[in-house]
Amino acid sequence: MVLDSVKKIVAERLDLPAEEITEDKTFAELGIDSLDTVELLMDLEDEIGMEIQLEEKLDTIGELVRFIESRQAEA
């Protein structure tokens, strides 16, 4: 579910087909810079209904998904 939400938001923001967004894609490969990441996280917070505070740098879609899933498990 988290992966689907991330793919949907990234696809909409970047105007890409969701099929092109895979867990192993880096944000750099997708053309996402630090400002885009902040905006993406804000959209994700709205979509999944939880605050996302990054304590570390995440490089791939999969790392972001696993980070969110671990925070959901803690809640």
Which two three-digit tokens encode residue 67?
């980070």
Which two three-digit tokens encode residue 22?
């895979």
Which one of 24, 33, 36, 46 is the catalytic residue? 33
CA–CA separation, 52 and 30 (whole Å): 21
- Whether 33 is catalytic is yes
Residues 10, 16 contacting (CB under 8 angstroms): yes
Residues classed as catalytic? 33
